[in-house]
Amino acid sequence: MEELKRVALNAQETEEDRVTSLSLRPEKLTDFVGQKELIANIRIAIQAAHQRAEPLEHMLFSGPPGLGKTSLAHIIAREMHAKITVTSGPAIERAGDFIGILTNLEKGDILFIDEVHRLSKTVEEFLYPAMESFKIDFIVDKGPYARTINFTLKPFTLIGATTRSGLLASPLRDRFGIFYHLDFYEPSDLAEIIIRSSQKLNVDIDQEAALEVARRSRGTPRVANRLLKRVRDYAQVKTGGARVRLPVVEAAMQQLHIDADGLDRLDRKILAVIAQQYGGGPVGIEALAATLNEEPDTIVDVVEPYLLKTGFLRRTSRGREITDKARKLL
């Protein structure tokens, strides 16, 4: 069976990516490329908070994986001169796990929760008073000896990141004072990111080659940095470490089976399955995932957003359909 797992383009961050990307992530707002309107609004919010000597309002970042939500949280913490505590929705299983995190926050500290939509209902309800009035109520003992203890927290800023904002409960979403959506990047912005990353990785790449990598990076900085490293490896092995120029990029992309539209084997397999086995669609996500032997969340979170953005896929009330553009590609 053809291997469907991504090698070069899986936008889910691996441990290797976390270690390597630490040096590639921007450290200041002035270093952040793209999302210009969003950055301008964040800069105003930070400046206003500094002038009032208050913590920032709670922020929610939404968008597909790899667009810079985690990077922005770290940048905001640095710009606010605050300590940041990082966790994720699935990591907080019980409300009791959350008490230690919240009570250890100092005034102005930032709590970053990745995949905040995956918080359990119990933890979510526990979080409401903490966000709204910086208080938590927890019960000690059981039965007739049970009593509620009220604990006042120091004012902090919660920054949530989600790839599925539609799954957030309305009461939680409404408690975020600032809401931003990150969209896919333009190739010119990605080329600038690639040039900056190449300097840190000691890769000699020119503008034309960087733009070609950018065009195949699915509008995602994380993918752009990953492809840059794969092109670097190809150049090192196949050309003896020569400079990365357009022919080297094209040869490396062919080796990775990534076409000029940035689609890889999994993308093309999804489009082909919908076209051949489901007559072009519509097909439900569960049926599609079962046919591909993939997790539905992988298709919805990682693959589908780019196919929708580039017009290869259409999502309807009855399921997924391929477009005329996809038929021409196939």
Q: Walk along the chain (330 residues) and give the pLDDT tens digit of each residue.
A: 444 344 444 445 555 455 544 568 888 888 888 888 999 999 999 999 999 888 888 999 998 888 989 999 999 999 999 899 998 888 887 777 778 888 888 888 899 999 888 888 888 888 888 888 888 776 666 666 666 777 788 889 999 999 887 778 888 888 888 889 998 999 999 999 999 988 888 888 889 989 999 999 988 999 999 999 998 888 888 887 667 888 888 888 988 888 888 888 888 888 888 888 877 778 888 888 888 888 888 888 788 888 888 888 888 888 888 888 878 877
Rg (CA), the chain: 22
Of the candidates 109, 114, 189, 267, the residue annotated as catalytic is 114
Of the candidates 163, 298, 310, 323, the residue annotated as catalytic is 163
Is 239 part of the annotated catalytic residue set? no
Is 69 part of the annotated catalytic residue set? yes
The continuous run of DSSP H or E covering 69 comes out as: helix 69-79
**Which residues fall within 8 angstroms of residue 194, CB to CB, at 6 or more apart?**
205, 210, 213, 214, 217, 224, 225, 228
Structural contact between residues 120 and 144, judged by C-beta atoms closer than 8 angstroms: no
What the block records as the tokens of 282 is 């519509």
Is 70 part of the annotated catalytic residue set? yes
Of the candidates 6, 25, 69, 173, the residue annotated as catalytic is 69
Of the candidates 17, 70, 216, 218, the residue annotated as catalytic is 70
Of the candidates 218, 222, 226, 265, the residue annotated as catalytic is 222
Is 87 part of the annotated catalytic residue set? no
Domains of the chain (ranges plus CATH)? 36-181 (3.40.50.300), 187-255 (1.10.8.60), 265-329 (1.10.10.10)
| Tally of residues, the chain | 330
What is the 8-class DSSP label of residue 302?
Answer: I
